[in-house]
Structures are given as structure tokens and as C-alpha cells.
Structure 1
Amino acid sequence: MKENDQAVLSDMVAFVACAGCAAGTARFQGKCSSCREAVEAGFIRGECKSGCVGVGSCVPVCKQGAISIQDGKIVIDREKCNGCGDCAAENVCPQRIIRMIPRKATNFIPCSSTEEEESVVRTTCGYGCIACGECERSCPKGAVSIVNNHAVIDYDKCVGCEACTIKCKKKIIVDTLHDLTKLKEKVAFVKCSGGSRASAVFEGMGISKCSDAVKQDAKALGICTTGCCGQGDCTAVCRFGAISVVNGTAVVDPEKCVGCRDCTFACPRNLITMVPYQGMKLVPCSSTDDYEDKLKVCDSACIGCEDCVNNCPNGAIYMEEKHAVVDPSLCENCKMCQYVCMRNVIKEQKVPDYIYLQRAALLNDALDEKPASEETQEQADKSADKKGGDQ
């Protein structure tokens, strides 16, 4: 490093563009003497080929003691890091996932995945970028772009707004200024509220995974053929602790949910869907069984009477495969469907008033903020105009 580079690097800090442990960390640690050796050993099916291998070649090269391995992940102490850049050298980090970014940066994308298939990324790592491009399209300053199948931030353009954080489908963009749980647009919703009987049956059979439960003959077992199995495959993938199994049925806490959609991929029966995070009515049932069968296996199933459909003044409810569904774009939260539902199946999603206010304020700030370089240029232009006028 050149002597005159120190002043520049002091404003920088090292950042690990990988937040998962999917690159064989458990397999390599203790068996490989360097990250280079681990990478050369190769990856196996189901591992991320672009992530951190976790051996820790970067740890001993840091003279400041700013790097450590915690739970198989490389962690950098920003307070100790002096921005020297030694850890980011290719001979130290062969995956090139340690990068130098501005110390004042507040938005980070901790992923370097080059995988093209979204389904592979989701099943490989909960923190993987799926390259959907929502962040790129939402950035008012053009600071985010998709490079080699993952999002990258151009910090020369980034103003630290939360536009990309809000739009990120996977909610992997780290934002140190804003609370993700307050910025979401959609949250997960489980289209079932009566999985207690099925859960008890499967537990009695020694089945502990939903993926195994759905292979059983539900009708022969006397349980709902389309309902929640209650074994928690969805809870296992939720990074935010927003899903729990209550009385045999998966339940989402909308306050904790950030809308990453990982649970929707984990549910083998596709019972989890994304709904707008706003006050509206929801029907927690997806049963396609006949009327008589529904009455036998579930006390909270929609029986398809269509009273809600016929009485909704906005046409916001329709029938789909023998159960009611609410169209959020038409629902005005009038409560009529709840009044006429004879089984009290339809529920209301309540959202605190402050959520609407905070989200609106933050979105406005995101669009109003300007990069420091633009502000400086505007000030310079005004100053020049003033001088010209004085002359």
C-alpha cells in the first residue's frame, strides 16, 4: 500500500459480501489450512460456489484484530478496522467477497451469489440475492445494479435512502438506519387456521417435517387434504422469527415479518401467500374438499356458502376451488363479509396507524434526498451566479 493511500483508505472499511454459511463452511473448517485450499477442493451439490468458505485466512492478516469467526461466519469489527484493505487482497480472500466500502455507508448487500436460478438460491441460502432487479428499478439515484446475478451498490451514487431495502423481495439488504419491520409492503399469510388435527396425527406417526407429511394419504387419515401439516418447515427458514406453530397451525406475526417470501417456498402445500401489509380481510382456508368432508375434518374451514361473495359491496371476494378469497385491491375493509360469515372464518389484519405515517415519510425522504456531490454542485452554481451578479 502506498503511503499517500492511507488518507483515502481511512475513510473506508472492510465489508464481507456474504451473510450465509452455505459455501461449505462446516465441511472446510478444521480440515483446510487456507481459504484458497478450500476453494480448490471444490464445492458439492447444495453449496454456494460464490460465498465465504469460513476458513478464516483473513483473520491473521488483520493487524488491528478487527476480523473474527463467529458461528462459522467472518465478522468485521468496524470500530477496529482501519481500512487498510489487506484482508480484501485476492491472495487472502480467493472468493473476492471482502470489499472496501465507505465507512459512512448505511446500506449493504451481503451476497455475492452468481447463481442464475432463483429456486436454487432460495434453497441454498436464506441470505441469497435472487437478482430480481426490484432494488435496481426502485433506486431514485441509479445506485443499484445487477452484476453477475447479484445486486451491487455504487456508493458514489447512493444517498442512503431505504428505497432498495423496501423493494427487496428477499429482504437481505442491510439498512442500519431504518427498521425493516416498519418498511415492508407485504407480509406472509397462512391460508389455514385449523391444522391442529393434522398436526396431532403426523406427530403420532413420528413425522416431524411437512415435506414428509404431505406424502401421506390425508383423506385416509381423516384430516384435511390441503391444510397446514403443523410441522414447521416454514419456521425453520424464517430468519426473523416471524412464524411459529400455534395449536398445530403455522401463524405469522405481521409485525415481525419483513416479507422476504422464504416461507412461501418452504411450504410444500403452497399455503403461505403474500398479502398487502394494510388493514384488510383475510380468509385463512384453502380447502378444496367437498362440503361434507370439510365439516368432518375441520371446525374452521370455509364451507363455500358464498354468503361473503354475495354480500360484498365492492366485489372484493370470489370463490376459488371451493373456498373464498379476498382481492386486496378491491377490499375496503367494510366488515360486511365478517358479519355474514356463519362460521366466523374471515379474519381481519390490523396494522398500527403509525406504520402508514412512517412508511409515507420515509418514502418521501428517499425521493427528496440528493447525493452530496449534486448538492455541492448546486451550491457552486449558485455561488457563481451570485458573483456574476455582483460584478
Structure 2
Amino acid sequence: MNPTYLYSLVSMGGIAAVLAAGLGFASERFKVEQDPRVGKVEDALPGVNCGACGYAGCSAFAEAVAAGEAPVNGCPVGGDKVAAEVAEIMGADSDDSGDKLVAELLCAGGIKETAKSGKYQGIQTCKAANAVNGGEKSCQYSCLGFGDCESVCPFDAIYMSENGLPQIDPEKCTACGKCITECPRNILLLAPMSAQNHIRCSSHNSGKIVRKSCEVGCIACSLCAKVCPVDAIEIKDNLAVIDYEKCVNCGKCAEKCPTGTIQFEGKMIEKVEINDNCVGCTLCARACPVEAIEGEVKNRHQIDQDKCIQCGLCFEACNVKAVDVFYQD
């Protein structure tokens, strides 16, 4: 063997050995110890890496939880079960009392309700149709109906109805937000599952134009805002907008809406009364948003029917079944 070649081979091997030893020393000397809880938290997560928690994926979220930078119940996909597991790993309280969020559609203008502006024969996706003159419907804010939201949902929580509108199963929805990101019309949002009033329109056109394009579109008449007893609705750029944090689910806005744009999913209350079970704990009075309940501590309370807005919050707050609710037929 050529001595020069042998010398080069030995030299390279020696250098490699020294470098390997140096790297091994450095890895031990400067290694960062990982919190063992990170792996446990990640194992407890669904593993879909959807990013609904606000982090790049389940691994990043697990690291944030272990570092105290993210809440143990921060995974909307996993829900209460995963929150409880993560809380146990972290030795914390899962605090699962928060209102679950679900996706809601801000459009009720399906095939039957909206006028057509032409015939679309391109690629059968919402994104493609939106890029080509906005599809077939004359309302540029309406749902295009090709189901991009359905196809992107990883939990089968969305299906398209015969009327060309997405139907969302609140029990399956995990609030991951993929449908919201996918929709080119921006007519999907996350709302509290407890919310019973929804304004199913996104049009900012004038009322005159809306009437020509959709039977159930918002015409910005302001009747809903005027009748709302807690100022939860306001008109912004020709569109009624609801503040879910203020809304008490009384349904008065939906009852007043002349076009049926507002959907109320609850039952209209006709009257609320306090019965003899009242122990004067004041919980009902504190829950009332319009101060319609009066009474001294440890004495039976009374409802001022002229002030009462029939929201039922006092009924929900009462722990002794002292509030009677009478619903409309």
C-alpha cells in the first residue's frame, strides 16, 4: 500500500476520532435537560397537529404547557377528557367549566333563497369559484356551496345540505378553525356553544340590494338592535352584528327580524315568576342583567314584570327551584 495513502487514511481517522470525542463531550456538557412531562403531555394529546391551540403542533403545545406558557385545557380538539389528563400530569386544575366553542355559519342564503347571477362551470371548489366572478350567486358575501369547509374538516363535523349550505354538528366540532381558514368568503366563525342567537348573514350591501339578491339577508333595518334589552346588537356597515358576550339568549331580536336573518335556537319565554321555594339567597337578582328582581336577603324575592326581559338567567342561577319559567306555545 502506498505509504502516503496509508498516512492520509490514519490521519483522517485520527481527526474523525478527535472530532467525535469532542462532539460527544459537548453534547453532554451543554445538553439541555427536557422536562419529562413534555413527553407525557404530548402522548395525552390527540396528535392531529391542527394548530387550534395557537401553537405549531402538539409537540410545541406540550412544551408550552410544561413551561407554564399554555393552559392545561388549551387543546380544543381533546376537550375535557384530554384537559383532565394533562391537568393530572401537570398537577393542576383542568378548569373545564368554560363554554365550548363551535363553528357557526354567517349565511342562510342557500340555493332556494338566493338569486343567481350566472352559471359557473369551473372547478367545483369554493376557492376556484370565488376567484372566477364569485360563482353563481348574485350576493358576493354568500356561501358558495361547494363544501371546501366539509372537505377540510378532520372530524367529520360538517356536511353539505341539499340546499347547498354547510351543516355543522356541534358535538363533533372541536373548534380547530380549519373550516374558517379554508372559507374564501370568511363567513364562518367560532361562537360559544351556549349561544342561541345567530345572525346568518355577512352582507355589507345596502338593504335595497340585499332584497334583490337574497330572501333572508340582513337589510340593516336596526329593529334587532332597538329591541335588544342588553345592547348586544349593533349595525356595522349595513350589517347587524351580535356580541355573544353580552347576549342573554332572550330571542327578542329573532322574533323582531322581518327577514328571518336571525336564527334563535332556544324556546321563547313568555313569563318568569319566583315561587315559595325562594330562600332569599339573591343569586337570581345578581344574575338578572336588567335589575328586574328585588328583595331582601333571606326573604322571598319578586320580579318586576315590566322590567323582565324573559331571558331565563335567573332560572339558571337558582339552586332551589324557586324560579318558574313559562314558555310560549
CA 1:230–1:242 in 2, change beyond 3 Å: closer, same or farther? same
- Residue among 134, 148, 151 paired with 2:61: 151
Alignment partner, residue 225 of structure 1: 140
Q: In 2, are the aligned partners of 1:191 and 1:283 still within 8 Å (CA)?
A: yes
Alignment partner, residue 75 of structure 2: 168
Map residues 1-391 of structure 1 onto 2, 5 A cutoff.
Answer: 108-109=44-45, 111=47, 127-129=49-51, 132=54, 150-152=60-62, 164=72, 166-169=73-76, 171=78, 175=82, 185-196=100-111, 204-218=120-134, 223-246=138-161, 247-350=163-266
TM-score (norm 2): 0.55
The alpha-carbon deviation at position 229 of structure 1 amounts to: 0.4
The alpha-carbon deviation at position 325 of structure 1 amounts to: 1.2
Alignment partner, residue 43 of structure 1: none
CA 1:330–1:201 in 2, change beyond 3 Å: closer, same or farther? same
The alpha-carbon deviation at position 109 of structure 1 amounts to: 2.9
Could you report, residue by residue, the CA deviation over 1:126-184 in whole angstroms, capped at 9, with x for unpaired residues? 63446636xxxxxxxxxxxx999712269999xxxxx73x4325659983989xxx986
CA distance in 2, matches of 1:240, 1:313: 38
The alpha-carbon deviation at position 342 of structure 1 amounts to: 1.1
Aligned residues: 217
- Quick one: percent identity of the two aligned structures? 27
The alpha-carbon deviation at position 348 of structure 1 amounts to: 2.2
Could you report, residue by residue, the CA deviation over 1:314-365 in whole angstroms, capped at 9, with x for unpaired residues? 10001122111111111111221122111122112459xxxxxxxxxxxxxx
CA distance in 1, matches of 2:64, 2:220: 52
CA 1:187–1:242 in 2, change beyond 3 Å: closer, same or farther? same
> What secondary structure does 1:309 align onto?
helix
Q: CA RMSD in A?
A: 4.1
CA distance in 2, matches of 1:266, 1:168: 20
> What secondary structure does 1:325 align onto?
strand
TM-score (norm 1): 0.47
5+ residue gaps, structure 1, are 1-99, 112-125, 134-145, 158-162, 352-391
Q: In 1, are the aligned partners of 2:137 and 2:144 still within 8 Å (CA)?
A: no
Q: AA paired with 1:227?
A: S
Q: AA paired with 1:108?
A: A
The alpha-carbon deviation at position 244 of structure 1 amounts to: 1.6
Q: In 2, are the aligned partners of 1:109 and 1:174 still within 8 Å (CA)?
A: no
CA distance in 1, matches of 2:265, 2:76: 21
CA 1:224–1:255 in 2, change beyond 3 Å: closer, same or farther? same
5+ residue gaps, structure 2, are 1-37, 86-96, 268-329
> What secondary structure does 1:264 align onto?
helix
Q: In 1, are the aligned partners of 2:53 and 2:74 still within 8 Å (CA)?
A: no
The alpha-carbon deviation at position 255 of structure 1 amounts to: 2.3
CA distance in 2, matches of 1:244, 1:321: 31
Alignment partner, residue 8 of structure 1: none
CA distance in 1, matches of 2:153, 2:258: 34
Larger Rg: 2
> What secondary structure does 1:305 align onto?
coil
> What secondary structure does 1:175 align onto?
helix
CA 1:341–1:173 in 2, change beyond 3 Å: closer, same or farther? closer
The alpha-carbon deviation at position 241 of structure 1 amounts to: 1.3
Q: In 1, are the aligned partners of 2:150 and 2:159 still within 8 Å (CA)?
A: yes
